[in-house]
A and B are shown apart, each in its own frame.
Chain A
Amino acid sequence: MTPLRLIGALLLLGVAGMAPAQAERLIVSVSNHRVTVTPNYAGEELVLFGSVEKDAQTPPTRTAYDLVVTVRGPRADMVTRRKERKFGIWINTDSRQFLKVPGYLALFANRPFDAMAAAEVQRRQQLGLNNVLLTQRVGPDYADVVPNDVFRSAFVRLQSQHGLYREDTSAVTFLTPTLFRTGIPLPAAVPIGTYEVEIKLLADGAFVTKTETAFEIVKIGFEQFVASSARQNGFVYGLVTTAMALMTGWMASIVFRRD
């Protein structure tokens, strides 16, 4: 190690030591970092384990902790449309585009968010489905709107119906005052990609520290091969499908030949 780097490292340590919020450290691990989805996959549950490590700076009076685990799936642009009755029939009229929103979003906690912290803290730390940032494009503007916006609540409601968005304020359990665990349920229609897990520690209504981990969901098997080739090689896929159609038709005309 060069002297310069050594100084740098010492400085970093010093800074970390000086910050009063860094009194605790979170150590977490997911039961599986790579979930493979096979054709007969019917959903799965991962388990996240962790512990709160105290150090000398921890106030001795602090004994109870609150934990919020946020799992975010791969991001995509989504559009929500609303039907209205026009000329006697129901047609899509209004729509809102949601930009780079997670395809899977789960928030787990050990007790209701309201009991943990004030509304302002909840909002700043994005605790709860109502406080998570979901960017919408409204005309030329990009913004998240109030939680009770009809498009936002419809979006969250529809995603929740598919098991893709969820909030459970009793999912995190403390096994000892510092050791905790939670399950991460993954439905069958789970999007593939990288999932970010963010674990936030709160105490006495204030944010203390956070840590991050991740896991990956990959789909394997014939179906996934078909889906990815349809997306990536549309031309070849079309040719193969057309050839398949011709082969089937030709075979039928031979098998069932009547003349």
Chain B
Amino acid sequence: MQIYLPIADLPVNIFLLLAMGAAVGFVSGMFGIGGGFLMTPLLIFVGITPAVAVASVSSHIAASSFSGALSYWRRRAIDPSLASVLMIGGALGTALGVSTFTLLRSLGQLDLMIALSYVVLLTSVGGVMFWEGLRAMMRARQGAVATVRRPGSHVWVHGLPLKMRFKRSKIYVSVIPVVGIGLLIGFLGAVMGIGGGFILVPLLIYLLRVPTSTVIGTSMVLTLATMMIATMLHAMSNHLVDAVLALILMVGGVTGAQFGARAGQMIRGEQLRLLLGLLILAVGIRFAIELVIRPEDLFTIRETEVGR
């Protein structure tokens, strides 16, 4: 059944979109991530322009992170004070990201920057995750005790001023890196159409040493906030949020996530990390190939101003 996407200006099969939403939802439920880094590229590959894909996926991630955040909230696995400080940075970063997005779009370099960001971020993060997962698996096979590498008790981060106590996470840390992390995630999220969970969670664990009990819930609250702001700003400045597309993705996504979460419990942790690393790496490489091969048509047309 074909459905016409009003903003993307494209007829698409509704079942294809539902299946994509469900597949990405399954993966995101399995790994406990938002899945934006998979959803945005998939939409681009089916022919939706990168700009519309990025803007619409932000509302889709808002939905999936809200349902996640609610269940973590009920389990008291969210640190509200840490989430608030992160959000300050997140809001600033998102605003900065959307204005960069608008600027790049007017310069005609948006698609390139989205692709480049995906290549750089996904190949590096995916590569590291894949390598770490591989080493952990090899150690497990050799029979060695898998020791989680803990960073030294005094990372440079802990020397910074403006310290604050975050009770539920039981950490005492400067607000500068917290706001900084929020800023980075907000910026990347708005430009690339990702929630940023796969960068945010490692940063919170290794840099701020947030305990695993609160890290996922808190990161979901930040993702929810940045993606809501991104949806609003993209809708107001670029008019690119396709609500019909977003709704279909949401419905598929939240359903798929439930099954993914159950499947995820059956796989061992290091195997899960290896798989996720491989997946992220693959998407990054796909974008790299797209940039290097000669495009079918060197020319593109875009409407700049409606003269009606």
Contacts and interface: CB of A to CB of B under 8 A. Distances in A.
A binds B: yes
Given A244-B59, A248-B247, A249-B254, A223 B301 contact: no
Given A81-B302, A245-B60, A75 B71 contact: no
A89 to B, nearest CB: 4
Contact of B250 (A77, A90, A158, A248): A248
Interface stretch (A18-26, A46-54, A115-123, A251-259): A251-259
Interface in A192-245: 193, 223-224, 226-227, 230-231, 234-235, 237-242, 244-245
Given A154-B299, A189-B9, A248-B250, A77 B304 contact: yes
A154 B296 CA distance: 13
B108 A76 contact: no
Contacts, number: 180
Contacts of B307: 74-77, 100
Given A79-B301, A235-B236, A250-B67, A241 B6 contact: no
Contact of A244 (B109, B247, B294, B301): B247
Given A74-B308, A246-B63, A159 B301 contact: yes
A237 B9 CA distance: 17
Interface residues of B, number: 60
A92 interface: yes
Contacts of A244: 59, 63, 243, 246-247, 250
A34 interface: no
A205 B112 CA distance: 50
A4 B242 CA distance: 60
A101 B64 CA distance: 43
A14 interface: no
A88 interface: yes
A112 interface: no
B231 interface: yes
B128 interface: no
Contacts of A224: 6
A81 B299 contact: yes
Interface of B: 4-7, 9, 11, 59-60, 62-68, 70-71, 74-75, 108-109, 111-112, 228, 231-237, 239, 241, 243-244, 246-247, 250-251, 254-255, 257-258, 291-295, 297-308
21 contacts: A75-B307, A77-B307, A83-B298, A92-B109, A92-B300, A100-B307, A154-B298, A188-B11, A223-B244, A234-B235, A235-B232, A237-B241, A237-B243, A242-B59, A245-B62, A245-B66, A248-B67, A248-B254, A252-B255, A253-B67, A256-B254
